[in-house]
A and B are shown apart, each in its own frame.
Chain A
């Protein structure tokens, strides 16, 4: 079970962290794949730089949001140098909590007329 306090302590998430969690939500990825996934998801608006990516990853590993995984995908696709990352249950919980926090914000903004109403 994930500790609620532990989750709350990490919020709000830096944008890069949230994006990395989203990129890893469905599958394990290596660094370059994360960058590509984020770029694709945001329509090219956010291109993570290598420095930002690995600094975020280092911090996320220390915080326990990710682990480095030893399970490799199909050996044909694999590149020896690559490290693969997998989201942890804490990572999932934190990403969910952040999404909740953001939608709550949007709901409030909508009530003030600062965001378009849902039809």
Chain B
């Protein structure tokens, strides 16, 4: 009979108690009558029958409970709406945060067996990750045995002709084995072969799915199309050989095409060993661990150092999982985001638990009546759980809506340098998370009243009506209030610190004045613009026209503008004939950023010239080579000396310092740049360092810089119609873009903090209000016995202040810990920033005291007689 008893357990307890005995008797009778095969048949049909019927009975009860719940909730729509909204905010915030965090940090990269993919680069003192040089790549790849393959890529751009105006595309140049290393093949056409990657191979190009769609309308006959294009160093025809899959984004979502490196012996020449510009990606052999690969590469790098003691001095290999290519800051930010959303959810749950507790107290009479007329404890518990789950489900559905709406805003927190889409979408995975969260929320906040109902199956409820709970419930409610205070302080402090950090970053002087400057960039196709004379003619033509425009006060060309797409350009400096710098090895201590400029650059940027003079048009190639250097350059190389007239070796020539300019933050607002050296655009050999030939144009105007754009475009077109114009924007837009991710961080966290604060305030007010209302009678008695209003007020306030202190103390500690862990995001603002801490504490105190004060004042207005009569 035990098996049958087990089967009966599938039924709800109430049903089992009612009918189990008889069912067992019926089965026993049937069992007696059956024999042989009949017994087997009997058991099979009994099992099938009980499983089906038990499910049906459960469904019946659920239907009844849902129906009953619906009726109960319709009777108190205010409660239902509040509860659903609180759940919605909690689930919405958490789901939105999860969708971004999961997208960036958790999900595997969209390549086959992504766990075997690693980045392979160099590591030198001062730089944890430094691109590979050509020769090191070749040597290390040949020596390594841990990898199935290693491929390389570097950023590249193409000017493509054919349309009315030349197009500038962004892409990467890759080795033929890069795409196979990643494990991805084109959806149409073919991938690169070794033959495509030889120095003299004809140009071949793979298009991104998006480029194929936007530029070629998804033409299925695209393969074989010849594109007339201009790469930096050669004009060439590139034949389209294929289109990559839609979801293939490597190295990031902005990439439009892939071409081959076509390296020749020159790229592997010994002098190239310190030219670090290649990104390596390797696929580990099956069974080879990351540690093994690291050990092997370290050994290879050490041998390489022995073979090339000068060029490879202190050079090691850096092998890291490709999925770790998320910057520490992005990671931290997303962790902070998840933490913030967890706080919001915690507060939401505490609020709901409170709300349901209060309600359960108010419903004691109803529950007691139901018990009295025979509803078992199990049915009551089920009913209460159904109520909280139903609220959670309604709230969860709303919350998913909130998350869907919020994700586009949060998408700006996705770092742009990853091989994933630019924005996450709310997909199955996220929905499952939201559903799981909803159920967990419903169960957890439903538990409080259920435990209560479960603990007290007696009929107390009938006796004393809806009167205040006992001391234990009072304590539980206090704990909930305190935890809400703690969570809101942590969030307030975190948001406050980020706001302070944003203000601090916005207050950083970039070294130039951003207002009233229009900027743009034109590529200069190289065989044609190889000579200084050709470039100077172009500059003169454009600058002449631009300077004649009304409102324009100055204009100049520069290699790369500060905070633009290219922020590096670090070259070794040799002041006293240092051995390392003179052999072209840069270290963290002997480097400076190189920029070629035309006269007037400093005036255009409003970068102060502290000493000496600007680069002038008289600084031609037959004159002594001159340089304007930054103040930090002087501090590093000529401390306590007059730098004017001093000499140093830089970019293959001896330079004389003729001027000192203020420091400019080329690397971005939040990062100190290397010292800067500005050289005359004319003082360079024809065909040398053309990568740094000035191509970015800056124009300062007294008018609206945006309105200059069409005229300047026309001027450039007239100077050379083949030049593509890109990156057309004002300098202030560029700076806004630079701080936009921070602005979004602040908005998101401040949003979370506001939600949390409002939720906590509402919760605390509701709670204290209820507690005070339970004591109205006591207050009445006290007043009747001669207590002064002030005494009563003091009594309630003492309790509110007690709660505040109980919440503030751990809250401040936790907030400090949270602040410390997100220090990298704070731009130097200390985690213990007193102003932020004090504001958060004051806000929390005001919130709690105000929450207690309002209901108390209401209670004091009650006539003692009325209060007593209600007894």
What is A's interface to B at a CB cutoff of 8 Å? 30-32, 35, 49-55, 57-59, 81-83
Contacts and interface: CB of A to CB of B under 8 A. Distances in A.
Given A31-B26, A35-B26, A54 B60 contact: no
A35 B813 CA distance: 71
Nearest to B45: A49
B23 to A, nearest CB: 4
A58 B26 CA distance: 17
Nearest to A31: B22
A52 B50 CA distance: 8
Contact of B15 (A30, A31, A32, A58): A58
A81 B22 contact: yes
Q: Of residues A30, A51, A54, A81, which shows the largest number of chain B Cβ atoms within 10 Å of its Cβ?
A: A51
B53 interface: yes
A52 B19 CA distance: 12
B25 A58 contact: no
A54 to B, nearest CB: 4
B22 A54 contact: yes
B54 interface: yes
Contacts of B46: 49-50
B18 interface: yes
A31 B53 CA distance: 16
Contact of A55 (B29, B45, B57): B57
Nearest to B27: A50
A58 B19 contact: yes
Contacts of B26: 31-32, 35, 50, 53
13 contacts: A30-B22, A31-B22, A31-B26, A32-B29, A50-B22, A51-B49, A51-B54, A52-B49, A53-B26, A55-B53, A55-B56, A55-B57, A59-B60
B43 to A, nearest CB: 13
Contacts of A50: 22-23, 26-27, 46, 49
B50 A51 contact: yes
Interface string B10-21: 000001001101
A67 B56 CA distance: 22
Contacts of A59: 60
Interface in B594-650: none
Contacts of B45: 49
B21 A81 contact: yes
Contacts of A83: 22
B52 interface: yes
* The 6 residue pairs across chains A and B that have the minimum distance between CB atoms: A51-B53, A54-B19, A50-B23, A50-B26, A49-B49, A51-B49
Contacts of B52: 51
Nearest to B25: A81
B56 A82 contact: no
Q: Of residues A55, A57, A58, A81, which shows the largest number of chain B Cβ atoms within 10 Å of its Cβ?
A: A55
Contacts of B54: 51
**Number of chain B interface residues as a range:** 20 to 34
B23 A51 contact: yes
B19 A57 contact: yes
Contacts of A32: 25-26, 29
A49 B21 CA distance: 15
Nearest to B21: A81
Contacts of A51: 23, 49-50, 52-54
Contacts of A35: 26
Contacts of A53: 26
Given A31-B26, A32-B29, 16 more contacts: A31-B22, A32-B25, A49-B46, A50-B22, A50-B49, A51-B54, A54-B15, A54-B18, A54-B22, A54-B23, A55-B15, A55-B56, A55-B57, A58-B60, A81-B21, A83-B22
B22 A82 contact: yes
B637 to A, nearest CB: 92
B145 to A, nearest CB: 67
A106 B52 CA distance: 32
Nearest to A82: B22
Contacts of A55: 15, 53, 56-57, 60
Nearest to A58: B15
A96 B348 CA distance: 54
Nearest to A51: B53
A55 B12 CA distance: 11
Q: Of residues A32, A54, A57, which shows the largest number of chain B Cβ atoms within 10 Å of its Cβ?
A: A54
Nearest to A55: B53
Contact of B18 (A52, A58, A82): A58
Contacts of A52: 49, 53
A59 B61 CA distance: 10
A53 B57 CA distance: 12
A58 B57 CA distance: 9
Interface in B17-68: 18-19, 21-23, 25-27, 29, 45-46, 49-50, 52-54, 56-57, 60
A35 B49 CA distance: 15
Nearest to B57: A55
A49 B43 CA distance: 12
Contacts of A82: 22
Q: Of residues B25, B45, B52, which shows the largest number of chain A Cβ atoms within 10 Å of its Cβ?
A: B25
A50 B25 CA distance: 10
A63 B190 CA distance: 71
A72 B57 CA distance: 28
Contacts of B19: 54, 57-58
Contacts of B25: 32, 81
B24 to A, nearest CB: 9
Contacts of B29: 32
Nearest to A61: B18
Nearest to A68: B18
A90 B60 CA distance: 21
Nearest to B20: A54
Q: Of residues B18, B22, B45, B52, which shows the largest number of chain A Cβ atoms within 10 Å of its Cβ?
A: B22
A49 B53 CA distance: 10
Contacts of B56: 55
Contacts of A49: 45-46, 49, 53
Contacts of B60: 55, 58-59
A80 to B, nearest CB: 10
Nearest to B53: A51
A50 B49 CA distance: 8
Interface in B270-328: none
Interface in B788-807: none
Nearest to B52: A51
A95 to B, nearest CB: 21
A53 B27 CA distance: 12
A59 B18 CA distance: 13
B108 to A, nearest CB: 47
A80 B669 CA distance: 89
Contacts of A54: 15, 18-19, 22-23
Contacts of A57: 19
A87 B383 CA distance: 30
Nearest to B23: A50
Nearest to B14: A58
A64 to B, nearest CB: 15
A85 B127 CA distance: 87
A51 B15 CA distance: 11
Nearest to B60: A59
A52 B57 CA distance: 10
A119 to B, nearest CB: 41
B6 to A, nearest CB: 14
A49 B49 CA distance: 7
Nearest to B29: A32
B237 to A, nearest CB: 79
Nearest to A49: B49
Contacts of B57: 55, 58
A51 B30 CA distance: 13
B605 to A, nearest CB: 83
Contacts of B49: 49-52
A53 B46 CA distance: 13
A58 B19 CA distance: 9
B583 to A, nearest CB: 90
Nearest to A83: B22
B395 to A, nearest CB: 31
